[in-house]
Amino acid sequence: MANTSSAKKATRKIAHRTSVNTLRRSRMRTFVRAVEDAITSGDAKKASAALQVAEPEIVRAGQSGIIHRKAASRKVSRLSKRVKKLGS
């Protein structure tokens, strides 16, 4: 347990940051799931539209440190590849 006032404040900050990051990660995953659902349904237009909405969310998560920036890039790349394959 934290003893000093600075350690107690650090604990509060960590708890708040964790809750915010959890919400942001959940939001990103929701958008990714929408793309996944559109891909599995086979609807190329819906998948493309969902990807256009999801891509900035994924990139933003990478920029803010929710996920690693290269992991964000990899997610966008793999989803784009699958959507493109669906359209052709």
Taking the model in full, what pTM does it have?
0.85
Predicted confidence (pLDDT) at residue 40 exceeds the cutoff of 90? yes
**What is the arithmetic mean of pLDDT over 37-47?**
94
Domain 5-87 in CATH 1.20.58.110? The answer is: yes
What's the confidence (pLDDT) of residue 5? 94
Q: For residue 2, what pLDDT is reported?
A: 79
Task: Report the alpha-carbon distance of residue 56 to residue 37 in Å, rounded.
Answer: 18
Q: Is 42 left (phi over 0), alpha (psi -120 to 50) or beta?
A: left
pLDDT at 4: 94
Give the Cα separation of 1 and 66 in Å (integer).
27
* Predicted local distance difference test score (pLDDT) of residue 73: 97
pLDDT at residue 88, rounded to an integer: 72
Round the average pLDDT of the chain to a whole number and report it: 95
Show me where the domains of the chain are located.
5-87
